Amino acid sequence: MATDSGISSLQLPCVFSPKSRQYLALCAQDGRLRIWNTDSKTLHQEFVPSAHLSATCTCIAWGPCRTVKEGPQRKKRKSEAVQVEEKADLLAMGTAAGSVLIYSTVKGALHCTLDGGHSGGVNCVQWHPEDSLLYSGSDDTNIAEWDLQTGKTRSKWKADRAAVTSLCVSPDGKLLLSAGQTIKMWDLDTKEVYRKFTGHSTAVTTLCFATTRPPDSNGLYFLSGAAHDRLLSVWQVREDGKDKNSVVSFTLTDEPQHIDLVASNSKEEAVRLAVVCKDGQLHLFEHFLNGPCKKPLSPSCTVQMSDTKESPMPIPLLAAALGANTRTVLLAYGNHLQPVMEKVEINTAERHVCLTRDVQTSLSLSMETTVSKVKTPIVKANCRVLVPGLPGHQAPVKGTSQGSEKRKKDTDTKEMSIAERLGEIDLSTVSIEKGAPKGTASLQTDNFAVLLVQGLESNDASILNKVFQTRKEMVIKKTVARLPLPAVLPLVEELTKRLQGHPFTAVLMVRWLKAVLMHHTSYLASLPDLVTKLGVLYHMIESRVKMFHKLTKLHGKLYLLTTQVATNDSSNTVSDVDHTAKLVYEEESSDEDEASGDEGLPDVDSDHWEEEEAMEETVEDNKEEDEDDEDEDPDSRTESKANGEEDMEHENESEEE
């Protein structure tokens, strides 16, 4: 496992054994060391360090092959005498706690532990090719030289201002390369700096000598690779000391994760290089190192692995080892818990090679029940188990039936057992809201985040429906903000699926999608395959928005038509105006004014007074008839009285004349 301190881009260590490549040693996510046999493709040994969880393994290095005595053997005759085979035996593991573990594959046990050399985590370990010496670089900026015969440090010196992230010993065992902020070459006899090299802005993760020539012949070259750097730099150790810049660069698709190299012994021999990148691709290079080269060199062949499904997915390569033949390569691919080893013949004439393999991704890691002392609870079908330790859980805890339990006869029947007491506690009645009805659990924001993660992992539609039905903007925002990053992409895929359904559900899903894009845009933008992941969502939104402009135009025209039709109908329904008066008002003083006017006028028509009198009598008779008809109207009475008085006055006037 990678450590948090020091070099953050440290990968899970995975190394082939030297020379015969018989074993593959790797340390997986669980902190265990597993050694696989590349010939039989089986697990050879498994070692669990005592502090495999607290002090995780950060780096692995195989020691040089040596002859091993495997117990007492009978003496062989001269005719039976054969050459003793050298085997890869010792394995050094650096830990995050600062100690170095030496494991023996022949014994199948821990050989020794090297403690007290470092105060920080160990980032790299490197063996001396001849002597029984080991070098380790740490976060405490020191390099320690260990003597394996005594198990103690022979010497220790400060190497850099920053953490030492990579080490490499020259093939002749006289020089040591170390990398911190700069690359330094040390003379192992005097422990003094021989040369300095600068050129990487990030932590150097890989150092490797490319030639076996002495340094004073201008023929010593070494490689360096850094984190987040897609170039492998080649440096020349010149006799005149003018070796400030790298002489050759190899282009990669991602930062180097594992490098295997066949060194060059002379100028006429090319360096063969196999680089496994972080993106799971293998790049093969072949180059004659003879002075500087301006242009970066591209790989002569690139190898990728994919599965045999309808939509093929890439299979990551973990490590590669070059064989004696130029075409033969030993590959390890899959995952660290159960890798697949295979020796492959690669046609290097082709620039790009894609190998398809059927790899079972489901791991069959079985554990014997007799060995395990952990008791697993019996869960019934109608029970739902929630993961403990997550905040916000207020799930109802239902008590199990106690009928099957056997009680002792001595115990008092009135006293309740702990299980019964727990059974009677109903946590679902706890409610934070005052007005909430009793017996209903109050779902908090933490609860929604936990439920959403569980629903996405188990693909449970009922849980997801319960979460997605909320309409409160603040709840949605807080739930999305508290989601762990691995759950963001499954949430987007689930929202995309639901957006394709009914428009009513799509309205709710758009709110969730908006919250996801507001909070997790930086994470989504960092994904390399984001375009393929969001392709369905993008096309669906584009197809729906494409018709929106036309629909708004149509909506406007239809609205105009409907309003015109409505106004025409309303104008036709207006009825004819009724001209009959609802109320008639007559002023009372109109007749009095006329009478006073008659009195004031001079008597012009005095000659015809008889005719006027006759007319006045007829008018008076009519008034009386009206008065009889309209007894109920008092105004008419007053008017008639007034008219009568006027008539009397006229009569008096005529008599006087």
Cα–Cα distance, 523 to 487 (Å, whole number): 11
Q: How many other β-carbons are positioned within 10 Å of the β-carbon of residue 527? A: 13
Does some domain include residue 226? yes
Kindly state the average pLDDT of the residues 574-580: 64
Kindly state the average pLDDT of the residues 482-489: 87
What are 280-293's pLDDT values in tens digits? 999 999 998 888 88
> Mean pLDDT score of the chain, rounded to an integer?
77
Among 10-24, 387-401, 524-538, name the one with the lowest average pLDDT.
Answer: 387-401
Kindly state the average pLDDT of the residues 63-68: 77
Higher pLDDT, 581 or 281: 281
pLDDT at position 310 is 80
Whether the pLDDT of residue 409 is over 50: the answer is no
Q: Confidence class of residue 495 from pLDDT cuts 50, 70 and 90?
A: confident
Q: Confidence class of residue 521 from pLDDT cuts 50, 70 and 90?
A: confident
Assign 464 to helix, strand or coil: helix
Q: How many other β-carbons are positioned within 10 Å of the β-carbon of residue 249? A: 17
Whether the pLDDT of residue 138 is over 90: the answer is yes
Q: Which structural domain, as residue segments, surrounds residue 172?
A: 14-68+87-357
Does some domain include residue 551? no
Q: Indicate whether 171 and 271 sit together in one domain.
A: yes
**532, HSE (Cβ side, Cα atoms, 13 Å):** 5
Strand segments, DSSP code E, in 263-370 are 271-277, 282-287, 301-306, 317-322, 328-334, 339-345, 352-356
Q: Are 152 and 171 in contact (CB under 8 A)?
A: no
What is the identity of the amino acid at 533? K
pLDDT at position 222 is 92
pLDDT at position 590 is 52
Whether the pLDDT of residue 156 is over 90: the answer is yes
Q: Which of 329, 357, 385 is the last residue of a domain?
A: 357
Q: Indicate whether 348 and 484 sit together in one domain.
A: no
Whether the pLDDT of residue 592 is over 60: the answer is no
Structural domain count, the chain: 2
Whether the pLDDT of residue 63 is over 50: the answer is yes
Q: In what order do the strands lie in the sheet with 328-334?
A: 317-322, 328-334, 339-345
Burial code of 128-147, b = ≥16 C-beta within 10 A, e = fewer?
beeeebbbbbbbbbbbbbbe
Whether the pLDDT of residue 363 is over 60: the answer is no
pLDDT at position 462 is 86
Kindly state the average pLDDT of the residues 624-652: 52
439, with CB counted inside 10 A (0-12, 13-18, 19+), is: exposed
Strand 301-306 and strand 352-356: the pairing is parallel
Strand segments, DSSP code E, in 148-242 are 152-158, 166-169, 175-179, 183-187, 192-197, 204-209, 220-226, 231-237
Q: Are 27 and 1 in contact (CB under 8 A)?
A: yes
Cα–Cα distance, 272 to 285 (Å, whole number): 6
Whether the pLDDT of residue 207 is over 90: the answer is yes
Q: Indicate whether 50 and 186 sit together in one domain.
A: yes
pLDDT at position 528 is 79
What is the identity of the amino acid at 419? A
Whether the pLDDT of residue 336 is over 60: the answer is yes
Q: Confidence class of residue 4 from pLDDT cuts 50, 70 and 90?
A: very low
Does some domain include residue 525? yes
Kindly state the average pLDDT of the residues 425-453: 54
Q: Confidence class of residue 618 from pLDDT cuts 50, 70 and 90?
A: low
What are 256-286's pLDDT values in tens digits? 999 999 988 888 888 999 999 999 999 999 9
Cα–Cα distance, 283 to 145 (Å, whole number): 34
Q: Which of 337, 357, 377 is the last residue of a domain?
A: 357
Q: Indicate whether 163 and 52 sit together in one domain.
A: yes
Q: Indicate whether 469 and 339 sit together in one domain.
A: no
Does some domain include residue 473? yes
Higher pLDDT, 6 or 38: 38
Q: Percent of the chain, pLDDT > 70?
A: 70
Whether the pLDDT of residue 620 is over 70: the answer is no
Cα–Cα distance, 164 to 103 (Å, whole number): 23
Hey, which of 73-77, 270-274, 594-598, 604-608 has the most confident mean pLDDT? 270-274
Cα–Cα distance, 508 to 611 (Å, whole number): 100
Closest CA to 141 of 111, 163, 174, 173: 163
CATH number at residue 226: 2.130.10.10
Kindly state the average pLDDT of the residues 307-334: 89
pLDDT at position 430 is 42
Whether the pLDDT of residue 478 is over 80: the answer is yes
Cα–Cα distance, 657 to 651 (Å, whole number): 10
Kindly state the average pLDDT of the residues 27-39: 88
Hey, which of 14-18, 211-215, 622-626 has the most confident mean pLDDT? 14-18
Q: Confidence class of residue 78 from pLDDT cuts 50, 70 and 90?
A: very low
What is the identity of the amino acid at 480? V
pLDDT at position 338 is 86
Task: Locate all alpha helices (DSSP H) within 469-606, ordered by sequence.
Answer: 473-481, 488-499, 503-519, 521-525, 530-533, 535-546, 548-572, 590-600
Q: Which of 315, 331, 357 is the last residue of a domain?
A: 357
Q: Confidence class of residue 445 from pLDDT cuts 50, 70 and 90?
A: very low
What are 503-514's pLDDT values in tens digits? 777 888 888 988
Higher pLDDT, 490 or 577: 490
Whether the pLDDT of residue 223 is over 90: the answer is yes
Kindly state the average pLDDT of the residues 226-247: 85
Q: Confidence class of residue 453 from pLDDT cuts 50, 70 and 90?
A: confident
Kindly state the average pLDDT of the residues 302-323: 89
Among 81-85, 349-353, 417-421, 498-502, name the one with the lowest average pLDDT.
Answer: 81-85
Higher pLDDT, 642 or 158: 158
Tell me the C-alpha to C-alpha distance, in Å, between residue 617 and each of 197, 377, 640, 647.
146, 127, 13, 8
pLDDT at position 575 is 57
Hey, which of 47-51, 85-89, 317-321 has the most confident mean pLDDT? 317-321
Q: How many other β-carbons are positioned within 10 Å of the β-carbon of residue 358? A: 8
Q: Are 509 and 499 in contact (CB under 8 A)?
A: yes
pLDDT at position 412 is 46
Q: Confidence class of residue 390 from pLDDT cuts 50, 70 and 90?
A: very low
Does some domain include residue 404? no
pLDDT at position 139 is 93
Q: Which residues contact 17 (CB under 8 A, 6 or more apart)?
A: 23, 24, 25, 62, 88
Does some domain include residue 577? no
Residue 175 has phi, psi (to 5 degrees) of -125, 150
Does some domain include residue 416? no
Q: Indicate whether 353 and 452 sit together in one domain.
A: no
Does some domain include residue 389? no
pLDDT at position 507 is 83
pLDDT at position 555 is 92
Kindly state the average pLDDT of the residues 186-206: 90
pLDDT at position 617 is 63
| 3-state percent breakdown (helix, strand, coil) of the chain, nearest 5 | 25, 25, 45
Closest CA to 59 of 192, 170, 202, 163: 163
Q: Confidence class of residue 558 from pLDDT cuts 50, 70 and 90?
A: very high
